[in-house]
Amino acid sequence: MIDEHVAANLAENIRALRDGRGLSQGQLAKSAGIPRPTWTNLESGSANPTLAVLLKVAEALHVRLEELLAPPRGIGKIYKASELTVRKRGKVTVRKLLPEVLRGLDIERLELAAGATMTGVPHTAGTREYLTCERGSVELSVRGRSFLLEAGDVVVFAGDQPHGYRNVGRGLAVAHIVVTFAPRSDMDEHP
């Protein structure tokens, strides 16, 4: 039997996630493959769901199971710059922009000093990347083809191919990368 505090957390989290997506109970119940009354009971806190049901709900809401059962979050949480993961790769500073792990998605901010280059790591087959230039001039090379981006430009490319970035300007260049990972099998490691 599920603990009453966990049931209350589950109910509040499911309601908040559903409301945040602007979907009805019926829409999400259908997406999860569970009866609508079951979904209603989950949101009321009166359900005693099986693990299989909880996994279906988490999948339908695109969250981890832990997020459904954890104490509800506040309206928002600020992460200070010092709390975000930052790494240096030569003359390039890479800052993670997602402080929490979101399955299948990564967003990073690149600061490339003048003349700086960085080799990208090819991802799982089917992965897509979106590179946008915020400031300066950035050249993207993908399998021998080059794309020159100026401020505001965006290029979409196959992230499973060899690729690299280069600041072709005289000053600092800033770019953002959004990576949408292709689904992996359960046997593969996660990004």
Statement: residue 187 has pLDDT above 50: no
pTM score, whole prediction: 0.61
Beta strand ranges found along 85-144 (DSSP E): 86-89, 92-96, 105-112, 117-120, 128-135, 137-142
Tens-place pLDDT, residues 165-185? 999 999 999 999 999 998 765
- So what's the pLDDT on residue 147? 98
Residue 183 is predicted with a pLDDT of 75
- Digit-coded pLDDT (tens) for 52-94: 999 999 999 999 898 898 888 766 778 889 989 999 999 999 9
Give the E-state strand segments of the chain in sequence order: 86-89, 92-96, 105-112, 117-120, 128-135, 137-142, 145-150, 154-158, 163-167, 173-180
Average pLDDT, the chain: 90
- 86-124 per-position pLDDT tens digit: 999 999 999 999 888 778 899 999 999 999 999 999 999
CATH number of 4-69: 1.10.260.40
- pLDDT computed for residue 72 by the predictor: 83
**What is the third-level CATH fold of 81-180?**
Jelly Rolls (2.60.120)
132-154 pLDDT, tens per residue? 999 999 999 999 999 999 999 99
Q: What gap in Å lies between CA 164 and CA 152, rounded to an integer?
A: 19
Q: What is the pLDDT of residue 56?
A: 95
Domains of the chain by residue range: 4-69, 81-180
- Cα–Cα distance for residue pair 131/51, rounded to 1 Å: 39
Strand order through the sheet with 163-167: 117-120, 163-167, 137-142, 145-150
What is the pLDDT confidence band of residue 190, given thresholds at 50, 70 and 90? very low
